[in-house]
């Protein structure tokens, strides 16, 4: 008998790792691109909603009539200077329904300004039988007191329809 052990079988070749997938090869640029795309889509949706709300308010009869009255009111134009311009985004709400021949309520705050100052145009109007009437339409200067408030329209003044420019 021989004292030499039998030779060892040959060592198998090292197994090649499985090929890396697309994500493993490109994640360093794909992940930031995916996050940026998601953020961009969300920002675009929010901007679309805000512009839709802005557009619906600015095309309402109450907004258009309030701005027309404000830009032609002599005391307000003297206070702010000409031209009187509206701010970017009005605040408030406009609710309408077709019940009772057309009912609704509008409460708007329109930021206005001119060369000599700024302020808020506050409009409150009711809609009955399809016709809007002001409950109040006042201008509140930015740095004024209650005594500085300018009444633009008296209560129960009808809101006039103005076509889109």
Question: Residue 9: which pLDDT band, with cuts at 50, 70 and 90?
Answer: confident
Domain assignment present for residue 159? The answer is no
CB 124 within 8 A of CB 134: yes
Is 27 a residue whose pLDDT tops 80?
Answer: yes
Question: What average pLDDT does range 61-84 have in this prediction?
Answer: 90
pLDDT higher than threshold 80 for residue 40: yes
- Are 147 and 67 in a shared domain? yes
Candidates 154, 165, 158; CA nearest to 62 is: 158
Q: Are 122 and 47 contained in the same domain?
A: no
The answer to the question of residue 17 being in a domain is: no
Task: Please give the full DSSP string across 53-70, using - where no structure is assigned.
Answer: HHHHHHTSHHHHHHHHHH
Full domain range(s) for residue 52: 25-58
When pLDDT is averaged across residues 24-49 and rounded to a whole number, the result is 95
> Which ranges in 7-144 belong to alpha helices (H)?
22-58, 61-72, 74-80
Number of domains present in the structure of the chain? 2
Position 163 in a domain: no
Q: Give the other-Cβ count within 10 Å of 162's Cβ.
A: 12
């Amino acid at each position: 008998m021989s004292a030499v052990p039998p030779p060892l079988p040959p060592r198998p070749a090292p197994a090649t790792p499985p090929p890396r997938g697309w994500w493993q090869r490109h994640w360093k640029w794909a992940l930031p691109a995916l996050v940026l795309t998601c953020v961009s889509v969300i920002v675009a949706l929010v901007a679309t909603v805000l512009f839709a709300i802005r557009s619906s308010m600015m095309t309402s009869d109450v907004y258009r009539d309030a701005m027309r009255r404000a830009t032609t009111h002599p005391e307000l134009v003297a206070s702010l200077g000409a031209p009187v311009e509206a701010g970017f985004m009005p605040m408030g709400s406009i609710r309408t329904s077709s019940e009772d021949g057309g009912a609704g309520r509008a409460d708007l705050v329109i930021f206005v300004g001119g060369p000599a100052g700024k302020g808020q145009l506050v409009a409150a109007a009711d809609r009955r039988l399809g016709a809007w009437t002001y409950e109040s339409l006042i201008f509140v200067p930015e740095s004024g007191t209650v005594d500085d408030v300018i009444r633009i329209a008296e209560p129960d003044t009808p809101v006039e329809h103005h076509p889109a420019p």
